[in-house]
Amino acid sequence: MAQQKTILRALAGETLPTPPIWMMRQAGRYLPEYKATRAQAGDFLSLCYNPELAAEVTLQPIRRYGFDAAILFADILLLPQALGADLWFVTGEGPRLSTITTADELAQLKPLDAIHDTLNPIYETVKILSRELPKETTLIGFAGSPWTVATYMIAGQGTPDQAPAHALKAENRPVFEGIINRITEGTIEYLSMQIQAGAECVKLFDSWAGSLQDDDFIEFSVKPMQRITAALKKKHPDVPIIAFPRGAGKRNIGMHAAIGADCIALDDGVDAVWAAENVQKDGCVQGNLKSSHMVTGGDTLVSETRRICKAFSKGPHIFNLGHGITPDANPDNVQLMIDTVRGA
Ligand code: CP3
């Protein structure tokens, strides 16, 4: 059957006259309706595990802006929690986890088939969304990449340079590789279940790919993501996969094939004209507007949006930011970006 949804058409390699659009962290604290629902849920994790309310916040930016895709409301750190790590969020600071750095701690993680006990509410959110989304809107599921998730599991929090994960990699390679493997296997299970529940596309967030150098980048960013895409494609050959190796820079060349992804999401560190020539030639790209334009707006937002649309206009492109929208963004600037992309 011919594919009608614009996001899925772009992911299949079609060049569209107007790129479809969605936004990383489109359900978030810059929206007053999100803050209200979050207050109702109590805290962030209670919101993630409440299918009705998680579906509600996923739908809010679709109702307000008519984005072409909705991304499941959840977090990349729910998988470590499902594997047995303690997880909590400190207001104003971010996530905290119990750490895994020894063979004993690795051995104590839960077996793979136990993760669904924790993650079932997430699949329920996906089911609600696949019923309630407008028929033209694509539902995107997601997970973190093994490396990025490992950086949080090893450090117990976000780190500017991922030093604890790099240290474990140097000092206890078997444990480090064991953690990467366990996350890889868990992610295959988790994303397969999201797809079975109704996700039409999945995205792998490798937010910290850029801190891996040389062979490590191939071994611990690219290869685990490739293992995940290969396993998912075997089970669900028609479900497209977006990979986001943030900070990969020139290493984005050849990345579609290396990861086995249908689309490479680009951060704002690569130039759009360069990326059109060197990355988009291999398939769909997504990105790469600086998130800060959602705070500052104005003529620069309009001209930058147009520049990116023009640079990617000769191939498959999904318009998006280079990273998540920030809580200080102005919701009116999001509308201005959308109007500019759609030529209104
Ligand atoms: O994009 C979406 O709208 C879907 C939902 C989503 C969230 N997190 C919700 C969220 C997605 C796709 C993520 C991914 C995620 N989570 C990543 C990878 C992408 C990236 O940003 O690099 C990472 C590294 C995390 C881990 C995480 N979650 C951190 C470091 C934080 C704290 C920083 C912050 O923005 O507060 C979170 C919290 C989080 N995840 C929020 C949201 C909406 C804010 C929570 C709140 O309401 O207070």
Name the percent of the chain lying above pLDDT 70: 99
247 residue type, one letter: G
What is the distance in A from the centroid of ligand 1 to the CA of 75? Answer: 6
Beta partners for 202? 141, 241
Domain for residue 11, yes or no?
Answer: no
What is the distance in A from the centroid of ligand 1 to the CA of 25? Answer: 7
Which residues, judged by CB distance below 6 Å to any ligand atom, belong to the binding site of ligand 1? 24-29, 38, 44, 71, 73, 75-77, 94-95, 142, 144, 158, 205, 207, 324
CA distance linking residue 8 with residue 275, whole number of Å = 21
What is the distance in A from the centroid of ligand 1 to the CA of 103? Answer: 29
Per-residue model confidence as pLDDT tens digits over 139-172: 999 999 999 999 999 999 999 999 999 999 999 9
What is the distance in A from the centroid of ligand 1 to the CA of 281? Answer: 30
Q: What is the pLDDT of residue 67?
A: 98
Domain for residue 143, yes or no?
Answer: yes
Nearest CA to ligand 1 atom 22: 207
What is the domain range of residue 208?
A: 22-268
Total domains in the chain come to: 1
CA distance linking residue 249 with residue 328, whole number of Å = 27
How far apart, in Å, are the Cα atoms of 142 and each of 79, 81, 194?
11, 16, 8
Q: DSSP letters along 244-263, please?
A: EETT-GGGGTTHHHHHT-SE
Per-residue model confidence as pLDDT tens digits over 37-87: 999 999 999 999 999 999 999 999 999 999 999 999 999 999 999 999 999
Q: What is the pLDDT of residue 155?
A: 98
Per-residue model confidence as pLDDT tens digits over 104-142: 999 999 999 999 999 999 999 999 999 999 999 999 999
Q: What is the pLDDT of residue 1?
A: 53
Nearest CA to ligand 1 atom 28: 75
Residue 80 near residue 153, CB atoms below 8 Å? yes
CA distance linking residue 288 with residue 312, whole number of Å = 10
CA distance linking residue 319 with residue 306, whole number of Å = 11
Domain for residue 147, yes or no?
Answer: yes
What is this structure's pTM?
A: 0.97
Nearest CA to ligand 1 atom 46: 44
Residue 259 near residue 293, CB atoms below 8 Å? no
CA distance linking residue 162 with residue 166, whole number of Å = 6
CA distance linking residue 125 with residue 80, whole number of Å = 19
Beta partners for 139? 70
DSSP state at residue 240: -
Residue 61 near residue 24, CB atoms below 8 Å? no
User: How would residue 2 be classed by pLDDT, with cut points 50, 70 and 90?
Assistant: low
Q: Report residue 167 CA to chain centroid gap.
A: 26
Domain for residue 333, yes or no?
Answer: no
Give start and end residues of each alpha helix (H) in the chain.
6-11, 32-41, 44-48, 51-65, 78-82, 103-107, 115-132, 146-155, 163-171, 173-197, 214-216, 223-235, 255-259, 272-278, 293-296, 298-311, 331-341
Per-residue model confidence as pLDDT tens digits over 278-319: 999 999 999 999 999 999 999 999 999 999 999 999 999 999
Domain for residue 293, yes or no?
Answer: no
What is the distance in A from the centroid of ligand 1 to the CA of 288? Answer: 18
CA distance linking residue 342 with residue 285, whole number of Å = 18
Residue 127 near residue 199, CB atoms below 8 Å? no
CA distance linking residue 237 with residue 334, whole number of Å = 34
3 state DSSP class of 146: helix
> What is the average pLDDT score of the chain?
97
Name the percent of the chain lying above pLDDT 90: 98
| Pocket perturbation via mutation, ligand 1, pick of 22, 25, 208, 326 by most ligand atoms within 8 A of CB | 25
What is the distance in A from the centroid of ligand 1 to the CA of 44? Answer: 10
Domain for residue 58, yes or no?
Answer: yes
Residue 261 near residue 300, CB atoms below 8 Å? no
Interhelix angle 51-65/115-132, nearest 10 degrees: 40
What is the distance in A from the centroid of ligand 1 to the CA of 28? Answer: 9
Residue 157 near residue 120, CB atoms below 8 Å? no
CA distance linking residue 145 with residue 267, whole number of Å = 16
Domain for residue 251, yes or no?
Answer: yes
Nearest CA to ligand 1 atom 45: 44
Domain for residue 10, yes or no?
Answer: no
CATH number of the domain that residue 59 is part of: 3.20.20.210
Six-digit token pair at 121?
Answer: 């509410």
Q: What is the pLDDT of residue 141?
A: 98
User: How would residue 344 be classed by pLDDT, with cut points 50, 70 and 90?
Assistant: low
